[in-house]
Amino acid sequence: MNSHKEISIIGVPADFGQSRRGVDMGPSAIRYAGAVERIQALGHIVRDEGDIPVDMDAPREVSGTNLKNLKAVTEGNRKLADQVSETVRDGRFPLVLGGDHSIAIGTLAGLNEHYSNLGVIWYDAHTDLNTAETSPSGNIHGMPLAVAMGLGHGDLTSIGSGPKVKPENIVVIGARSIDPGERELVREKGIRVYTMHEIDRDGMTAIMQDAIRYLEERGVDGVHLSLDLDGLDPLYTPGVGTPVQGGLSYRESHLAMEMLHSTGRITSAEFVEVNPILDERNKTADVAVGLMGSLFGETLI
């Protein structure tokens, strides 16, 4: 069986989902770090679709709710949803480059048109399960997983049709910063969250084996990887907007990607929250590209 994929890279140069400028340059930084060349070297056919048009000069606005830049985030995600859906319809693997994590709203909305039981692996220091009512900041990049479950402002949940993922089909890996409202939602919905406590105690191999088995038991018909670079410890990825100490290591993350590749089940992916302004010599983008290499089959021997 030919394991080579036809991959479409979709950039989303948007930073409206949070308050620190610069993450809009993430797609360019990742490309500069050699994403296309790295994946092509593995035998995959890569087509860079360019960037989703984003009006970065749009005024920063506060809506009538505790949601910052609601209109801009909504408009960008509608465009992304259409692009992702078209990519899947064409039989290509969508690889989305962010931008802040609010872009996952559009990615998952686009995927929802083609999967009836999608699984999601959320590789992140945060669970991103806030709503306007629970968010301490009003930043929508802390809400995309809640939106994907159909919870949140109607402008966001109405992108695409209905809820995009079932709570029981979600796996969060690397969590270590969870707000009170998110914690309550995790318990209420029974969402599978592997915190750094579990990873330290059991090891990444056991955690990934359990996570993969968990999704397989639910009969998912596709698995989307949403990887926030702040899932790793800031020692390895300093160029992120919301760093949290005590995170996943470089080696653990490569192992996780290698194990996901070996399943053959990853059907789409996004890498988000690379902020070159906060970075050190493009170090975070380099790590992102290295992890992509492992996800798409790169090995040492």
What residues are annotated to the active site?
Answer: 101, 124, 126, 128, 141, 228, 230, 273
> 98's torsion region: left (phi>0), alpha (psi -120 to 50) or beta?
beta
The answer to whether 155 is annotated as binding is no
> Across 229-263, where does the E strand assignment appear?
none
The answer to whether 124 is annotated as binding is yes
The answer to whether 224 is annotated as binding is no
Please give the structure tokens belonging to residue 164: 């995009």
For residues 26 and 276, the answer to whether their CB atoms sit within 8 Å is yes
211: phi then psi, degrees, rounded to nearest 5: -65, -45
Using the CB atoms, write b or e for 70-106: b if 16+ within 10 Å: bebbbbbbbbbbbbbbbbbeeebbbbbbbbbbbbbbb
| 208/26 Cα distance (integer angstroms) | 27
The answer to whether 126 is annotated as binding is yes
For residues 175 and 211, the answer to whether their CB atoms sit within 8 Å is no
Cis before 106 (ω within 30): no
- Please state the residue numbers annotated as binding site for Mn(2+): 101, 124, 126, 128, 228, 230
- Please state the residue numbers annotated as binding site: 101, 124, 126, 128, 228, 230
